[in-house]
Structure 1
Amino acid sequence: MRIGILTGGGDVPGLNSAIKAATIRLLDAGHEMIGIRRGWYGLLHFNMDDETSAQQFTMRLDRNAVRTVDRTGGTFLHTSRTNPANVKAKDVPEFLKHTTVFASGLADRYDFTQHVLSVLRFLGIEALITIGGDDTLSYSLRLHNEGFPIVAIPKTMDNDVRGTDYCIGFSTAVTRALDFIHNMRTCTGSHERIAVIELFGRYSGETALVSSYLGNVDRCLIAEVPFDIEKLCDYLLCDKRTNPSNYAMLVVSEGARPKDGAMIERGEADAYGHRKLGGIGDYISEQIKRLTGEHTMYQNVAYLMRSGAPDALDVMVSSNFGALAADLLLQGRYGRMVALQGGKYTSVPLTEVGGGPRPLDVAELYDAEHYRPRVRNVENKPMFLY
């Protein structure tokens, strides 16, 4: 078989390890591997009448191509936030504007799934491994429903894909965040201030919650629970006064929102309907100054959480996920997503991702009244509690 592999959505450490493991396993079984560059964007923009498209959007994967890729983070195949089933009129490739799908020119969005399937047939790709989060995997499910052989690998530092206890990138994100939290203590304590550290997390507060739990921060705001800024300020003032070093630490999910407001978004929505987040920590920092008169230190960790090489846990999980995905293809078990459940590697139907991001168990893991982690019981919980 000729098998394709791609990554989509935000990059996380561990993607290259998964690509390498799947590639080596399938090469050893006698199959051919083709890397799709730039995720779904590469398939959408592939022009079958342009001989340069193959070089631009695909690459043959052999042992030398993947030999050293697992030593670094990111994805050497590159990535995008493209959804071929929901393409804005202005983003339609020029060569597709002559197709019947675009002919009317009256719609705001267009579905080019049939073009993607045609490209896969043109390239001779008989099955596809897709690595991504809820959005990327939702389009994988679409192709599966169209009858194309798919096996998926979950990745997101939010760790909120349904059907698995763990997603590639989460451990490294928490490790990075924990380092930043502890490092910020030296500056914050030296100047006797209130630190506001903003972490990624659009709909899921797990990264912020687990980082706060392990870092023993004073308060934590998560995306799932709207906050009262005045009550938060009262808590932080008390935290600062009772700390012998006279400082306080607050961690904020980028998707956190005040009770009387909304998430702070900016820019245009992407193909999955998401606008960029970022700035809620700055807003909270300014409100703390206004309401308390205290000086603050605001740090948006942002992309640094997912930059650089993966930690050992993400190397292990991503490598095993890649090998398991290859095994599923070799067994002809299509339409499945590799997973970790109860500490064991397994797979689940790809339809599991159809329900959207997995919700955080706020009642079990968070004190919504006092804005801080509160893990009530760890017995029988997954390693990362969620």
Structure 2
Amino acid sequence: MWSRGRWCIPRSPRRSVCRRRIPRPSCEGKAMTERKTLAILVGGGPAPGINSVIGAAVIRARLEAVDVLGVRDGFEWIMQGDIDHVTPLDIGEVSRIHFRGGSYIGISRANPTKDPAHLDNAVLALLRLNVSQLITIGGDDTAYSAMKLEEKAAGRLQVVHVPKTIDNDLDLPPSVDTFGFQTARHYGVEIVKNLMVDAKTTSRWYLVITMGRGAGHLAVGIGKAAGATLTLIPEEFTGRRIRLKSVVDTLVGAIIKRLSYGRLDGVAVVAEGLALGIDPADLEGFEEVERDTHGNVRIAEVNIGEILKTAVQKRLKEFGLKATIAAKN
């Protein structure tokens, strides 16, 4: 019942509960909340699992009614102020991209931190696209770019970085691997297993160079699971400059030991990071090797497999021995 500006709800013959009538809120004169937009970009090099991360992020965001933009080719375009190289992403188009390799929105090593103008352009480009949240997928260089971008945005952008490294070189709990590591290890094991059969059939040695710029986890994972003859990683030389002679002598020792067992074959798994640790004086032309925009040596340009092959064969010749060796990068 209505009584003196209150609704009175009878509870019993003795008493009633009275509640004040609360007016409905009015939206007049108030702007509606601006719709959020999430941007996703990928930097660095390719790795298994990138599309899985993109798909999961898009699906979660769209379920929360957040618009999503895929920024093509990492920082390449937005650091030039170009906002045309973006594509809207929705659940329908990303729900199956985890079955594909590569990156659905491209990838690049473009570095916006080398020029303050590029960093400004990247921030302004994202703001022009109405982006309030950014997910970057990449390695340590992309993580650094993301950090500087957030600093430059001064609160206008929320940035989250997803570490992308099949090297598994992050300080995570022992049971947690970086995405892509197990996939790379699995395929690496299959390759080495096949090479071991080929090596025995043809009586030759294979030097298999695996990825791993600063860590040998992938090489060890492949070598252990496949049962390779020998695995060499940069961590074994911690605290000192790696000399090419030490690496060569280790390989030669393994070959001679196998020969003593009557075996002419073997497979050595070598982490590519050894190339960075070896004294430049030992690697002819090492200083002239191309570097990326972050200043890192493009290890693919250092043919460490062929360098080791030549050096090992030369060393064996000094002992009056000969072995057929093939390098597999």
Query: TM-score over 0.5 for the alignment?
Result: yes
Does the 8 Å CA contact 1:44/1:116 hold for their aligned counterparts?
Answer: yes
1:199 aligns with 2:213: no
Amino acid at match of 2:150: H
Task: Calculate the TM-score normalised by the size of structure 2.
Answer: 0.76
1:139 aligns with 2:145: yes
Does the 8 Å CA contact 2:80/2:118 hold for their aligned counterparts?
Answer: no
Sequence identity of aligned pairs in percent?
26
Shift of 1:267: 4.0
Larger radius of gyration: 2
Does the 8 Å CA contact 1:285/1:296 hold for their aligned counterparts?
Answer: no
Change beyond 3 A, Cα 1:25–1:233: closer
Show CA shifts across 1:170-228 (max 9, x none): 11111121111111112211122222111112221211122112222222221332351
Does the 8 Å CA contact 1:13/1:72 hold for their aligned counterparts?
Answer: no
Amino acid at match of 1:38: D
Does the 8 Å CA contact 1:194/1:236 hold for their aligned counterparts?
Answer: no
What is the match of residue 22 of structure 1?
57
Shift of 1:243: 4.8
The two structures, once aligned, show a CA RMSD in angstroms of: 2.2
Change beyond 3 A, Cα 1:233–1:9: closer
Distance 2:96 2:247 in 1: 48
1:253 aligns with 2:271: yes
1:10 aligns with 2:10: no
Does the 8 Å CA contact 1:135/1:272 hold for their aligned counterparts?
Answer: yes
Change beyond 3 A, Cα 1:252–1:266: farther
1:67 aligns with 2:95: yes
Report SS of the residue matched to 1:112.
helix
What is the match of residue 127 of structure 1?
133
Task: Identify unmatched segments of 5+ residues in structure 1.
Answer: 48-52, 88-109, 302-386
Report SS of the residue matched to 2:274.
coil
Distance 2:110 2:87 in 1: 19
Change beyond 3 A, Cα 1:16–1:141: same
Distance 2:213 2:288 in 1: 13
Report SS of the residue matched to 2:48.
coil
Amino acid at match of 1:161: L
Report SS of the residue matched to 2:282.
coil
What is the match of residue 288 of structure 1?
312
Change beyond 3 A, Cα 1:43–1:252: same
Change beyond 3 A, Cα 1:114–1:19: same
Distance 2:185 2:297 in 1: 24
Shift of 1:162: 4.3
Q: Quick one: higher RCO (CA 8 Å, sep 6+), 1 or 2?
A: 1
Task: Identify unmatched segments of 5+ residues in structure 2.
Answer: 1-35
1:154 to 153, 163, 176: 163
1:76 aligns with 2:100: no
Distance 2:224 2:191 in 1: 14
Task: Calculate the TM-score normalised by the size of structure 1.
Answer: 0.65
Shift of 1:61: 0.5
Distance 2:288 2:220 in 1: 24
1:185 aligns with 2:196: yes
Aligned residues: 272
1:269 to 278, 281, 291: 291
What is the match of residue 36 of structure 1?
71
Change beyond 3 A, Cα 1:265–1:189: farther
Change beyond 3 A, Cα 1:163–1:61: same
Amino acid at match of 2:144: S
What is the match of residue 180 of structure 2?
169
Does the 8 Å CA contact 1:170/1:207 hold for their aligned counterparts?
Answer: yes
